[in-house]
Amino acid sequence: MSHGRNEMMQSERDWAPSVEIPYAPRHGAKPPVSPPQGDQGQAHFTEMHSHFVYGLDDGAQTYPEMCGLIDQAWQMGVRTLYATPHCVPGIKFFDRDLLEKHLQEARLYCREKGYDMELLPGAEMLWTPQMSYALNQEHLPCLGYTRFALVEFSPSIEKNDLFMAIELMIEAGYRPVIAHFERYACLLKPGTAERLKRKYAVKLQMNAETLTLPSPLMMRLCIKGWLKKGLVDCISSDAHHVQDRPFAIGKAYEVLTQCCGQNYADFAAKGGIFQED
Ligand SMILES: [Fe+2]
Q: How far is the CA of 51 from the centre of ligand 1 (A)?
A: 7
Residue at 150 is within a domain: yes
Is 27 domain-assigned?
A: no
pTM of the model: 0.85
Total number of residues shown for the chain: 277
CATH number of the domain where residue 237 is located? 3.20.20.140
Distance separating alpha carbons of residues 138 and 149, to the nearest angstrom = 13
Which of residues 35 and 131 earns the better pLDDT score? 131
Residue 238 CA, ligand 1 centroid: distance in Å:
5
> Is 3 part of any domain?
no
Q: Confidence class of residue 21 from pLDDT cuts 50, 70 and 90?
A: low
Q: Per-residue pLDDT averaged across 11-25, rounded?
A: 39
Residue 36 counted as domain residue = no
Q: How far apart are the CA of 27 and the centre of ligand 1, in A?
A: 32
Q: Is the pLDDT of residue 3 over 90?
A: no
Residue 105 lies in a domain: yes
The reply to whether 8 falls in a domain is: no
Centre of ligand 1 to C-alpha 125, Å, is: 9
What's the domain range around 251?
44-275
62 in a domain, yes or no? yes
pLDDT in tens, 191-208: 999 999 999 999 999 999
Measured in angstroms, how far is the CA atom of residue 118 from the centroid of ligand 1?
19
Q: What pLDDT sits at residue 276?
A: 61
Cβ-Cβ contacts under 8 Å for 66 (sequence gap 6 or more): 52, 53, 54, 60, 102, 105, 106, 109
Residue 257's pLDDT is 93
CA distance 117 to 13: 35
Q: How far is the CA of 241 from the centre of ligand 1 (A)?
A: 12
Q: How many A from CA of 12 to the centre of ligand 1?
A: 31
Query: What is the average pLDDT value for the chain, to the nearest integer?
Result: 85
Q: What is the spatial distance between Cα 163 and Cα 189, in angstroms, rounded to a whole number?
A: 14
Residue 277 has pLDDT above 60, yes or no: no
Structural domain count, the chain: 1
Residue 145 pLDDT: 85
CA of 96 to the centre of ligand 1 (A): 17
Residue 269 lies in a domain: yes
Q: What is the DSSP string of 232-265?
A: --EEE--B--SSSS---HHHHHHHHHHHH-HHHH
Q: 213 CA to middle of ligand 1, Å?
A: 17
Angle separating helix axes 262-269 and 249-260, nearest 10 degrees: 150
Please name which of 144, 179, 153, 83 lies closest in space to residue 274, comparing C-alpha atoms. 144
